[in-house]
Amino acid sequence: MSKMHITTSINGDTTEFLAEADQTLLSALRDNLRLTGTKEGCGSGDCGACSVRVDGRVVCSCLMLAPEAQDRAIETIEGMADGDNLHPVQRRFLEEAALQCGFCTPGFLIAARDLLDRNPNPTETEIRFWLAGNLCRCTGYDKIVRAVQKAAEDVRG
């Protein structure tokens, strides 16, 4: 079967790639476009390591087909910082030691930024439930939750 020509927006840039009809968006990002910041932890939508934002909604890119990216706006971890300027949630993850191995971190950051975009004043419970689709095996989540709380303060200004 011939490949499909897909035109999409990734982190604000118009991007074209050739995808197999049954290829996942995760695979297209990682293998075709070499945007390897988005991680594969399970391939079944259970761990959240492959989280990206599509037209303003967080999705597991392992559960979305690459051809579905046509004419969408995709945001990945590579587009989160503005040059040298880290997003508050990135900066707070570093300051609060909210990562140990760092493998789940891009997915957590995508989800946490999305939470703060919607609700800059979340309770601890709201943070914990918003991030319940992201697995972290290293931290026990404590410092992740604290980092998001601190980032929320920054976002509120």
Partner 1 sequence: MNERVKTPEGRPYYKEIGTRPIRPDGVEKVTGSARFGDDFTLPGTLVGKILRSPHPHARLISVDTSNAKKIAGVKAIVTGSDFPDQPFAYTGPAVLERNMWHVTRNVIAREKVLYEGHAVAAVAAVDEKTASAALQAIAVEYEILPHVTTLDEALAPDAVLLFEDMITRGVEPAPEKPTNIARRANYEKGQIDTAWSSADLIVERSYETKPVHQGYIEPHACLAHYHPDGQADLYTSSQGHFQMRALTATLTGMRLTDIRAIPAEIGGGFGGKTVVYLEPLAMMLSKMSGFPVRMKMTRSEVFKASGPAAGTKARIKLGAKKNGTLVAAEVEMYYEAGAFPGSPFVNGVLCCVAPYTIPNVRLTGWDVVANRPKVAAYRAPGSPQSNFAFESTVDIVCKKLGLDPIAFRKMNAVQVGAELLGGRQLNHEGYLQLLEATERHPQYATELGPNQGRGFAAGYWPNAGGESGATVYVNADGTVNIATGSPDIGGSRASMAQMTAETLGISYDRVRSAVNDTTSVPFTHVTGGSRVTFATGKAVVAACETVIADLRARAAKIWDVDVDAVDWREGAAHPSSSNVGDFDPLTLGDLAARATETGGPIGSSGALNATGHAPGFSAALCDVEVDPETGHVKIIRFTVAQDAGVAIHPSYVEGQMQGAVVQGIGWALSEEYIYGPDGRLQNHGFLDYRMPVASDLPMIDPIVVEVPNPDHPFGVKGVAEAGMVTAMASVANAVADAVDRRMTSLPISPPKLAKEIAAGKAAM
- The span of 2-10, 40-48, 53-61, 63-71 binding partner 1 (CB under 8 A) equals 40-48
**Contact residue for partner 1 among 59, 88, 93, 115 (CB under 8 A):** 93
Stretch that binds partner 1, among 2-10, 27-35, 64-72, 114-122 (CB under 8 A): 27-35
Nearer Cβ to partner 1, position 9 or 36? 36
The answer for residues whose C-beta is within 8 angstroms of residue 117's C-beta and 6 or more apart is: none
d(CA 132, CA 144): 12
HSE-up (13 A, CA, CB side) for residue 13? 7
Alpha-carbon distance 39 to 19, whole Å? 19
Beta bridge partners of 151: none
Nearest to 51 by CA among 127, 128, 118, 134: 134
Please report how close the Cβ of residue 54 comes to partner 1 at its closest, in angstroms.
17
Q: Which stretch binds partner 1 (CB under 8 A): 53-61, 64-72, 115-123, 138-146?
A: 138-146
Q: Which residues contact partner 1 (rule: CB under 8 A)?
A: 30, 34-44, 46-47, 49, 76-78, 80-81, 86, 90-91, 93-97, 99-106, 109, 125, 127-129, 131-146
